[in-house]
A and B are shown apart, each in its own frame.
Chain A
Amino acid sequence: MNPHDALEHILTAAQKQGVESAAAGFTRSHKRMVRFSNNSVTITSSWLTETPTVYLVSNKRRAACMVEEQNPEGLKAVVEELARTMKVTPEGDVDFTLPQGPFQYQPIQGTFDEKIAQGETELIDAVEAGVNAAKKEGAIRVSGVVTSNTRERYVSTSTGAEGSDKGTEIEMTIRAFTGDDASGQGITVATNLQQFNPEEAGRCAGHIAKMALTPETGQAGKYNVVFAPSIFANILNRVSDSTSAYTLELGFSFFQDMLKSKVASEAVTLHDNSRFPYGPGSSTLDDEGYPTQDNALIESGVLETYLHTSYTATKHKASLTGSARFEAGIGGMVPTAGNIILKAGESSLEDLFDQAHDGLYITNNWYTRFQNYQTGDFSTITRDGVFEIKNGKLTHPVKGLRLSDNMIRILQSVKALSKEQHWIRWWEVETPTLTPYVLVEGVGITTAKK
């Protein structure tokens, strides 16, 4: 379907239904993936998807639809159904309208690579390079996934915003094993083939897996922990989620009533920057047609802003942040980060081990869950290589550990950050995150009791 026709059909139908304001979206995505395990390709996949979206606002009521039926009648029928339903929907809590356009959208450097869009064999080549590099480091079994995506996005609103952008992404997660309980992970994420480095990801995974061989069972206690980028990106995704004004509304944020408060140590400066050059999550406009921007979430430890859509911004009397993202599910349009950027520090990784003196180096995690979203009490499980630090040096690998702590306490106990930063996105890190290695003091670690 022609994107511009789809947008016009949606907005025309909305106008005929007397809707106060409407945002129409259209995304065309061509995604390809190769998965592999035990050094062998397990499946190749490709997806070609065109997705129109509809968001309507009228009389304090909202309605949203993701529709994949590819015809004008289908789009019109959806808008009519939404408008009908809105008329019988209980009243919402905010009278607002979508951002008044038109807007100018400034291009962002390095978000599209024609070679990815036209590529055919680079995913297979990446698998071969990654697996061979991991095996060269000593890996016995190697598993992972490599994905590329080419997308075009179009947004048009009844309030005069109209724009589009396009982007490419390519990423690989590779996990190497030297034993059943000895593994390591490597990641490479980029918007272009030049910065995509599957060989380095494979080498990193293989190196950690080799170091992790024959782990000892770890002990519970409080530790100084050096976090590698993969695990800290997972934590930062939860931090970023908690800055979403919609998350606050739902009671899922540990930043309730903390605006302008000190929520982290002075070493922490965290931005959501959807305009970051070469950022995998960069885009010029949000799904309400508002231009994206660089949002300082935490500046030298102080919580500076929540992320907003036009609904939450009106309710909280705040400025728009260019963060509106269409969500199929509850919310319809919710504030979401594009690229999460944790400012680098001055240390080398070895400096961080030295400053930790005695503690742990944790390379990865999974399965983060909250005991209480508002207090931030949570636990997450270490995965892949975990190493003990003694007198500032890595000694032996350990296993069986769970990080059980509080998000605010972790942020407030950040002591130092590395100069080196890495882009992370994988199965456990949804929003692309650029983060250094991070030293945190006194982290709670627990173990199974039986």
Chain B
Amino acid sequence: MEEELAREAVDHALRLGAQYAEARVQRDLGHTYTLKNGAAEPVNVTRKVGIGIRVIVDGVLGFASTNSLDRGQLRSTTESAVRTAKASKRLVTSPIRLSQEKSWEDNWEAKMKVDVRDVSPEEKYELLSTIEKSLTPENVHVSLPSRILIFDEDLTEKFYVNSEGSKLHGFVPHLSLLFFLTAQEPGKGVAQRLRHEAQSRGWEVVEDWKPKEIAADDAKMLGRLLREGVPPPKGDVDLVLGSEVTGIICHESCGHPQEADRILGREAAQAGESYLKPDMVGHRIGSEHVTIIDDPTLPHSYGFYLYDDEGVKARPRVLIQEGLIAAFLQNRETAAELGGVSNGASRSSSYDREPIIRMANTYMKPGNHSLEELIEGVGNGIYMKNFMEWNIDDRRYNQRYVGLEAYMIENGRITTPIRNPILEITTPGLYGSVDAVGKDMEYAGATCGKGDPMQGAPVWTGGPPIRLRKIRLGG
């Protein structure tokens, strides 16, 4: 039925004068279970389904969507996409073209060993209750006046068809465990930790997360930080960053500035542009130790997909190769403009959003060092294991990461906790300071925001610990 409707929409658009058309029926079924300080918050269910139609008419891109899968409404939605595109033609000075791509017919999915739909709500609450029970003051040695624990599942099913012969059916289950802990120590203030574990797989993932252990460890860390934390040192220091910090850095100052739509100015009024120009492939941005990859095909990854929302087959993209800008993230529109083919980076968050260039799972390629070796190589410095506050300017050049769990390194050993060390640095300053990369990979789940209207895309940010030399802490 949905396949038939999507095909009809594409055919109708072509009859109305579109040179290209695609339709995507998307169904998102979401359940969110929350415990707040041990008490249940509302169980929240989302059932979102509809169709989005995208057309090119005389060089103008038009998009329309509806959540009514009635034939009459669908025809009128298609007509709306074509009509509004035609009406804008007089203000189009750069006609839109799409790169030539192979057409595909396929069914693909991220498989669940244990289907999360077969797991009862009781078991999902039991997961959260078990975590809650591990957070008693007796166990974690600190008072936690606020404990927010969330289990979220979002099952996304897409049927995609375009006028060039592609026909794709995809299914991805996104499962997340989030917690937000606020710890308090009399006379020492409060400290907060936000953590997001996420994968695209079934209920079997819960064991991998080790939820009780990570929540209790984080709570104990907050307590120690409050009790023993000292201000960060002044002057130049060497810095070892944990996987979580490496991951957010790769996302913010490599993935985003290398999105070709930013580079070409399409997101200028919202998410911004880039410090990079189209001719900067090959430009040195970091030391030879830095290689950063974005790969949507990583099994179980939160940003997993095998075909993007323009029907292009997904593939790994090396964005920075040994310190040199190697490639941009592309969709069919930017590939046509820059000359080449798409590398399958186009995604939309739901049926009512146009596909735009998105990261999937962005990480730094691991090196050979253990964390201990990275630390041993620092006489006096700082180990910033994770972070709380972060931001970056809209050209992705000037960024800041404020450490949460962080320690002094003295004579090659981790010693006293420190509070809120601030890394405030430029993109080349950061990547140019990397002198060693660890070997132990970790990934964190995140929801990346971009587009207008806003689209939240599931992604992984990841990498090993890395070491930076001669950094002046900010603040």
Nearest-CB residue, chain A, relative to B145: A251
Report whether B45 and A81 are in contact in the complex, using a CB–CB cutoff of 8 Å. Answer: yes
Report whether A66 and B48 are in contact in the complex, using a CB–CB cutoff of 8 Å. Answer: yes
Report whether A372 and B388 are in contact in the complex, using a CB–CB cutoff of 8 Å. Answer: yes
Residues of B within 8 A of A69 (CB): 47, 49
Residues of B within 8 A of A49 (CB): 50, 65-67, 352
Tell whether A67 pairs with B424 under 8 Å between CB atoms, given A46-B84, A51-B67, A383-B393: no
Tell whether A47 pairs with B352 under 8 Å between CB atoms, given A37-B269, A402-B398: yes
User: Which of B87-95, B212-220, B377-385 participates in binding chain A?
Assistant: B87-95
Report whether A251 and B96 are in contact in the complex, using a CB–CB cutoff of 8 Å. Answer: no
Q: Using a CB-CB cutoff of 8 Å, which residues 33-81 of chain B contact chain A?
A: 34-50, 60-70, 73, 77, 80-81
- Highest count of chain B CB atoms <10 Å: which of A44, A175, A250, A450: A44
User: Which of B292-300, B321-329, B410-418, B466-474 participates in binding chain A?
Assistant: B466-474
Tell whether A124 pairs with B474 under 8 Å between CB atoms, given A38-B265, A88-B122: no
Expressed in whole angstroms, the Cα–Cα distance for A154 and B421 within the complex equals 50
Report whether B93 and A40 are in contact in the complex, using a CB–CB cutoff of 8 Å. Answer: yes
The answer to whether the Cβ of B402 comes within 8 Å of any Cβ in the partner chain is: yes
Report whether A90 and B395 are in contact in the complex, using a CB–CB cutoff of 8 Å. Answer: no
Contact pattern, A 320-343, Cβ under 8 Å of B = 1, otherwise 0: 000000001111110000000000
Contact pattern, B 161-181, Cβ under 8 Å of A = 1, otherwise 0: 000000000000000000010
Residues of A within 8 A of B267 (CB): 37
Contact pattern, A 85-116, Cβ under 8 Å of B = 1, otherwise 0: 11011111100000000000000000000000
Nearest-CB residue, chain A, relative to B123: A88
Residues of B within 8 A of A173 (CB): 269-270
Tell whether A61 pairs with B40 under 8 Å between CB atoms, given A85-B121, A89-B121, A329-B32: yes
CB distance from B273 to the nearest CB of A (A): 8
Expressed in whole angstroms, the Cα–Cα distance for A363 and B454 within the complex equals 23
Tell whether A370 pairs with B49 under 8 Å between CB atoms, given A41-B88, A375-B190, A427-B454: no
Tell whether A332 pairs with B36 under 8 Å between CB atoms, given A40-B93, A175-B269, A250-B146: no
Report whether A89 and B60 are in contact in the complex, using a CB–CB cutoff of 8 Å. Answer: no
Contact pattern, B 348-363, Cβ under 8 Å of A = 1, otherwise 0: 0000101000000000
The answer to whether the Cβ of B420 comes within 8 Å of any Cβ in the partner chain is: yes
Expressed in whole angstroms, the Cα–Cα distance for A450 and B424 within the complex equals 8
Q: Which of A33, A45, A63, A367 makes the CB contact (< 8 A) with B45?
A: A63
Residues of B within 8 A of A39 (CB): 93
Contact pattern, A 33-62, Cβ under 8 Å of B = 1, otherwise 0: 111111111111111111100010000011
The answer to whether the Cβ of A174 comes within 8 Å of any Cβ in the partner chain is: yes
Q: Which of A61, A64, A70, A127 makes the CB contact (< 8 A) with B44?
A: A64
Expressed in whole angstroms, the Cα–Cα distance for A118 and B263 within the complex equals 37
CB distance from A130 to the nearest CB of B (A): 11
Expressed in whole angstroms, the Cα–Cα distance for A89 and B41 within the complex equals 9
CB distance from B38 to the nearest CB of A (A): 8
Tell whether A330 pairs with B182 under 8 Å between CB atoms, given A40-B93, A47-B64, A371-B388: no
Interface size, A (range): 35 or more
Report whether A62 and B391 are in contact in the complex, using a CB–CB cutoff of 8 Å. Answer: no
The answer to whether the Cβ of A260 comes within 8 Å of any Cβ in the partner chain is: no
Nearest-CB residue, chain A, relative to B121: A85
Report whether A120 and B87 are in contact in the complex, using a CB–CB cutoff of 8 Å. Answer: yes
CB distance from A12 to the nearest CB of B (A): 19
The answer to whether the Cβ of B272 comes within 8 Å of any Cβ in the partner chain is: yes
Expressed in whole angstroms, the Cα–Cα distance for A381 and B271 within the complex equals 13
User: Which of B8-16, B107-115, B310-318, B425-433 participates in binding chain A?
Assistant: B425-433
Residues of A within 8 A of B189 (CB): 375
Report whether A447 and B424 are in contact in the complex, using a CB–CB cutoff of 8 Å. Answer: yes
Residues of B within 8 A of A63 (CB): 42-45
The answer to whether the Cβ of B186 comes within 8 Å of any Cβ in the partner chain is: no
Expressed in whole angstroms, the Cα–Cα distance for A63 and B121 within the complex equals 13
Contact pattern, A 274-296, Cβ under 8 Å of B = 1, otherwise 0: 00000000000000000000000
* Extra inter-chain contacts (15) besides given A46-B81, A381-B398, CB under 8 Å: A32-B84, A34-B84, A41-B88, A42-B61, A47-B66, A49-B50, A62-B41, A91-B40, A174-B269, A328-B44, A374-B182, A400-B393, A402-B400, A450-B429, A450-B471
A-B contact pairs, 14 of them (CB 8 A): A44-B61, A50-B68, A55-B42, A61-B42, A65-B45, A70-B70, A78-B45, A88-B125, A249-B36, A250-B180, A251-B146, A329-B44, A332-B44, A369-B390
Interchain residue pairs A-B with the least CB separation, the first 7:
A251-B146, A332-B42, A450-B429, A62-B42, A143-B268, A93-B39, A367-B391
Q: Give B contacts to A, CB under 8 Å.
A: 30, 32, 34-50, 60-70, 73, 77, 80-81, 84-85, 87-88, 90-94, 96, 120-122, 125, 129, 145-146, 148, 150, 180, 182, 189-192, 264-273, 352, 354, 388-395, 398-400, 402, 420, 422, 424-426, 429-430, 433, 452-454, 471-475
